[in-house]
Amino acid sequence: MKSAVSLNRIAYDPVHLLGEVLHIEPDGRYAIACDGRTWIAQRAASCLLAPQPGDEVLISGPDPSRVYLIAVTVQAEPFQTVLETQGDLVLRSTGGVRLESAGDLTLQGQDAVRVRTSEYSVEAADERHACKRVRMVAEQLHATIGETRLVGRNYEAVLDRMTLMARLSMRSVSEVDQLRAGSIDFQADQSARLHASYTLVTGSDLVKVDAKQIHMG
């Protein structure tokens, strides 16, 4: 009659060892030195920390033919950590997600970086943008800026209506300044001055000058 000990005896020889990563095989598996022999193990899907040569790792499996690298216990270079997955990665949380870094924080996408949200906010002491093209589509744009400076080769604006209000306005054009309009109305409360080396005032039908006094010459 079989005893209870013999009935509970495991029919296979499980592996659970600590070892050191020697190198990475061409097929992506890891060569690990454990107890005087080299084990070839595949990284488990749950091990997100990418093992590097020299790291102390934990290998485990139901038998020597099915061994997986399940965890990195000690890093050889603890100042650099790489989380690596195969395929797409989704981080999902029922609460908030916050990324904090004592140094720089870099987001890099091979094709694109996209942000989709109901509200987007950026707070920074200094902001820089360097790109070849900028495209923006919005229903409304409100900006409050202490000082604005635009330097460029060409500037073009196409609007249905433009309103400009300023306390002082100055425009300097080194070559040609042209204005084409259906009607032009200039009005000054105090004085208006038009001066040039050669001044022409022409009208196809009528030219009218009206004032209490007119001085010519």
Domain ranges of the chain: 12-74
Chain-wide mean pLDDT for the chain? Answer: 90
Domain 12-74 homologous superfamily, CATH = Nucleic acid-binding proteins (2.40.50.140)
Task: Kindly tell me if the per-residue pLDDT of 10 is higher than 60.
Answer: no
H/E segment holding residue 62: strand 56-63
Listed in sequence order, the DSSP H helices in the chain are: 4-7
> If pLDDT is split at 50, 70 and 90, which confidence band does 134 have?
very high
Q: What's the distance, Cα to Cα, between the start and end of the chain in Å? A: 137
Task: Kindly tell me if the per-residue pLDDT of 7 is higher than 60.
Answer: no
pLDDT value of residue 191: 92
> If pLDDT is split at 50, 70 and 90, which confidence band does 6 have?
low
Percent of the chain exceeding pLDDT 90 equals: 82
Question: What DSSP string describes 67-128?
Answer: EEEEEEEE-SSTT---B--SS------SS------SS------SS------S------S---
140: number of Cβ within 10 Å:
4
| Residue range 163-211, pLDDT digits in tens | 999 999 999 999 999 999 999 999 999 999 999 999 999 999 999 999 9
Per-residue pLDDT averaged across 108-136, rounded? 92
pLDDT value of residue 3: 52
Q: pTM for this one?
A: 0.63
* Residue 201 token pair: 């005032």
* Residue 168 token pair: 């002082």
CA 49, CA 80: separation in Å to the nearest integer?
11
* Residue 74 token pair: 């000690």
